[in-house]
Structure 1
């Protein structure tokens, strides 16, 4: 199994004021011969939940970009649960990535 290459801990403040930690992890891309593509796993875990998926690409760079693109959509469901923050700021440090040609 590939190594985790990046990890970030986010804070989730619930309406009752308690805090939970969410961990976002990204694994190094790995070539999957059966699928004839590269995949980079990404996971959001914490607050009693975990969701893992992967970005896909024709090379390792595209798989990484695809995985990074998925993170904001994986975090959306927590917006209904409470307030997400990173380093006491509302910006979580995951910018929108467009996967189309300029």
Structure 2
């Protein structure tokens, strides 16, 4: 936050500083809460898992081998979707404090 305030005070990048203004409430949250916010995009998370699995294997002897690997990764990901993230309780608590009546916990 201090670095952001110093940047805004510099004046050279006023337009950029104005664009960063909407993200300030997120910067007030703890690092673990920001991590849960950034990682809840399901499509990006799934693509990341698929890319990581393919990249660690390097090459495949056939197309069927690649398809089997992707199938296994997708099955494992489907199991994880049934469980909520561990940090979600902490995130909900901080949202209730920061955003007050705008956040309704379920």
TM exceeding 0.5: no
**Where is the strand percentage greater, Structure 1 or Structure 2?**
1
Larger radius of gyration: 2
Structure with more relative contact order (C-alpha pairs < 8 Å, separation 6 or more): 2
Q: Comparing both structures, which one devotes a greater share of its residues to helix?
A: 2
